């Protein structure tokens, strides 16, 4: 889909797993600026699919910090934890296409298999998230899968990447407004996990479904997430979703040259506010 600048929709999609820092402020302002300079709409989305790491107090702090910065967003805010049915529908569609399989491996099983394979002539490659899944459960028979599920074994759902790529009619691309037409190579992730038992979705699936359902036409996010776009582009194709355009912005670095992270307590928006900085100071610090 080509983006009509009059109805551009961007979004900022933080996870409430900690306080927002200067890097998040930059990302949120970047997204809002992209929407407003083209007369479009800016959305805020709370990515709270991981109950073990997300906390209500961090979500409240997101609203406080962003309002303090002067951002305005549409309500109601989409909170991913309330939309598990949408992700489940998407994963059922992929399952009907025969593209998902249950994986019963523990982290230990995977590490052991990778260690063994290191001695083999074609040993396992690394992907953006670490070593690729060596495919142990891909070859299980239907009977064994059924037996283990019935026995209550914990499993994740993985995408059979080889099969998924075979479904495509040709190479996939996306338009990155800074980098141009970009070839998608989702195979770099191997058989990526799309759902887990405790969280019936994954970052990749939830983001792709939400961007589609919310009509996002321009995805803006940090360049650290650029590898993920390869998988998202594949999911869009398999699920017959429209394709947004992308801007993957640079990341702010701390004085140590490393990119800002939740460990940089002095650069949280809360700390900056308490240290007497104004929203304008923060915009300047973010280089905006
Ligand atoms: N929730 C993700 C994060 O906080 C961002 C997702 C995205 O922008 O696609 O890193």
Kindly indicate the confidence band of residue 100, based on its pLDDT and cuts at 50, 70 and 90: very high
Could you tell me if residue 244 is inside a domain?
no
pLDDT tens by residue, 73-99: 999 999 999 999 999 999 999 999 999
Please report whether residue 216 resides in a domain: no
Same domain, 73 and 118: no
The C-alpha atoms of residue 92 and residue 33 are separated, in whole angstroms, by 37
The structure tokens listed for 62 are: 């997101």
Domain CATH for 154 = 3.90.800.10
Same domain, 60 and 100: no
Q: How many A from CA of 243 to the centre of ligand 1? A: 18
Per the structure block, which two tokens stand in for 210?
């939400």
State which of 149, 181, 210 marks the end of a domain: 210
Q: The whole model's pTM is what?
A: 0.93
**Same domain (yes/no): 149, 172:** yes
Which of 178, 210, 242 is at the close of a domain? 210
User: Does 224 fall in a domain?
Assistant: no
Average model confidence (pLDDT) for the chain? Answer: 93
- For residues 5 and 95, membership in a common domain is answered with no
DSSP label at 256?
T
33: CA distance to ligand 1 center in Å? 18
Backbone angles phi, psi at 231, to 5 degrees: -70, -40
Task: Please choose from 18, 225, 227 the residue to mutate so as to test ligand 1's pocket, defined by most ligand atoms within 8 A of CB.
Answer: 225
Residue 222 CA, closest ligand 1 atom number: 8
Range of the domain at 113: 84-210
Paired residues of 144 in beta bridges = none
- 153 and 201 belong to one structural domain: yes
Task: State the number of CA atoms in the 13 A half-sphere of 148 facing the CB.
Answer: 16
Tens-place pLDDT, residues 138-164:
999 999 999 999 999 999 999 999 999
Q: Quote the percentage of the chain above a pLDDT of 70.
A: 95
| 190 burial level (CB within 10 Å; 0-12, 13-18, 19+) | buried
The predicted-structure confidence for 180-198, as pLDDT tens digits, reads as follows: 999 999 999 999 999 998 7
> What's the pLDDT tens digit per position in 16-70?
999 999 999 999 999 999 999 999 999 999 999 999 999 999 999 999 999 999 9
73 and 93 together in one domain: no
DSSP letters, 199-230, are SSS-HHHHHHHHHHHTT--EEEEEGGGHHHHH
Kindly give the distance from the C-alpha atom of residue 11 to the centroid of ligand 1, in angstroms, as a whole number: 10
- Note whether 75 and 122 are same-domain residues: no
Q: Are residues 99 and 185 in the same domain?
A: yes
Record the tokens describing residue 266, joined without a space: 């002095």
My answer on whether 202 and 157 are in the same domain is: yes
- Does 155 share its domain with 56? no
Give the residue, out of 28, 43, 203, 210, with the most ligand 1 atoms within 8 A of its beta carbon, to mutate for a pocket test: 203
222 near 27, Cβ under 8 Å?
A: yes
Q: Is residue 177, in this structure, part of any structural domain at all?
A: yes
Nearest atom (ligand 1) to Cα of 211: 9
Do residues 270 and 173 both lie within one domain?
Answer: no
Residue 280 domain flag:
yes
**Rounded CA gap, 234 and 250, in Å?**
24
Strand 41-46 versus strand 78-79 pairing type: parallel
Under a CB-based contact definition with an 8 Å cutoff, are residues 197 and 155 in contact? Answer: yes
More confident residue, 124 or 251: 251
SS3 259: strand
* CATH number assigned to the domain comprising residue 66: 3.40.50.620
Comparing CA positions, the residue from 199, 232, 238 lying closest to residue 216 is: 232
Identify whether 178 is part of a domain. yes
Alpha carbons 226 and 203: distance in angstroms, whole number: 13
In the chain, the number of structural domains is 2
Whether residue 168 is contained in a domain is answered as yes
Query: Taking Cα atoms as reference points, which of 97, 88, 275, 245 lies closest to residue 178?
Result: 245
Domain boundary among 210, 243, 261: 210
Same domain, 16 and 118: no
Does the residue 265 lie in any domain?
Answer: yes
């Amino acid at each position: 889909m080509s983006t009509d600048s009059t109805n551009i929709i961007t979004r900022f999609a933080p996870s409430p797993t900690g306080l927002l820092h200067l890097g998040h402020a930059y990302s949120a302002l970047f997204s809002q600026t992209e929407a407003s300079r083209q007369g479009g709409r800016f959305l805020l989305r709370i990515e709270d699919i991981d109950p073990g790491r997300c906390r209500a107090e961090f979500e409240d702090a997101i609203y406080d910090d962003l309002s303090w910065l002067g951002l305005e967003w549409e309500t109601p805010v989409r909170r991913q934890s309330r939309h598990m049915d949408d992700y489940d529908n998407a994963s059922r569609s992929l399952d009907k296409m025969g593209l998902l399989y249950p994986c019963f491996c523990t982290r230990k099983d995977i590490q052991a298999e990778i260690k063994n394979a290191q001695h083999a002539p074609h040993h396992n490659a690394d992907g953006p998230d670490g070593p690729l899944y060596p495919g142990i459960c891909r070859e299980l028979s239907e009977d064994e899968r059924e037996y283990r599920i019935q026995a209550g074994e914990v499993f994740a759902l993985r995408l059979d990447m080889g099969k998924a790529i075979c479904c495509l009619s040709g190479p996939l691309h996306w338009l990155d407004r800074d980098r141009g037409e970009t070839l998608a190579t989702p195979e770099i992730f191997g058989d990526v996990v799309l759902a887990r038992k405790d969280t019936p979705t994954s970052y990749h699936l939830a983001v792709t479904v939400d961007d589609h359902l919310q009509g996002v036409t321009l995805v803006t996010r940090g360049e650290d997430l650029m590898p993920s776009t390869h998988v998202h582009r594949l999911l869009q194709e398999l699920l017959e979703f429209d394709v947004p355009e992308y801007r993957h912005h640079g990341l702010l670095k701390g004085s140590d040259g490393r990119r800002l992270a939740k460990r940089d307590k002095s650069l949280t928006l809360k700390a900056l506010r308490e240290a007497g900085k104004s929203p304008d100071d923060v915009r300047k610090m973010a280089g905006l």
